[in-house]
Amino acid sequence: MSDVATSTEPRARSVVDRVVRAHGGSTGTRLRALADGQPLFEEPVQRPAVVAVQLALAISWERALATGELSSRSAVASGAGLTRARVTQLMNLTLLAPDIQEEVLFLEASDGVEPVGEHSLRQVLRAGRWPAQRAAWRALRRRTGPAQTSGEGEARVNREAEGRIDGLGDQLAT
């Protein structure tokens, strides 16, 4: 008889991490998968929204101009490798109402999906005075859905993962 015992008990499966490219682009989805390749749950890739980065850049340029670090918008344009028109477009974002700027600075893109585009934000800016901008911003947010800001995405992923892990535990127990 053989020294090796055979068992019919189910063996625990190990969990591995791998990165999967989504849509062939540079953004990836982190996928927790079981060793046999079955997905456990997906973690969305979170990053600051493009408009948040653009607004932060415009604010830093405003400060540099105010302190004298940069002499003009032309100096900003040449230093950043942009046209003066593009610098003006970006710096005009600093004319948004302060509460809108704050919301924009905390926007996050999830899995490459931008919550608000720059073009839409410029339409809010064209509304004029701050009360009109706030009304335009609320209308835009109603059309695009609620903004996802830091922390919200992680909490959603954790809730989804807990549900999937509980379901997996039930499957392994049977």
Q: Which two tokens stand for residue 134?
A: 């706030």
- 31-50 pLDDT, tens digit per residue, is 555 556 665 556 778 899 99
Q: Identify the top-confidence range among 6-10, 18-22, 58-62.
A: 58-62
Question: What is the spatial distance between Cα 56 and Cα 52, in angstroms, rounded to a whole number?
Answer: 6
Residue 12, pLDDT above cutoff 50: no
CA 64 from centroid of its chain's CA atoms: 27
Give the model's pLDDT for residue 41. 58
Give the model's pLDDT for residue 32. 54
Give the model's pLDDT for residue 173. 47
Residue from 32, 33, 31, 28 nearest 46 by CA = 28
CATH number of 48-144: 1.10.10
88 close to 82: Cβ distance less than 8 angstroms: no
| Longest pairwise C-alpha distance within the chain | 89
Q: Work out the percent of the chain whose per-residue pLDDT is above 90.
A: 53
- 111-166 pLDDT, tens digit per residue, is 878 999 999 999 999 999 999 999 999 999 999 876 555 545 444 444 444 454 44
Q: Is the pTM of this model over 0.75?
A: no
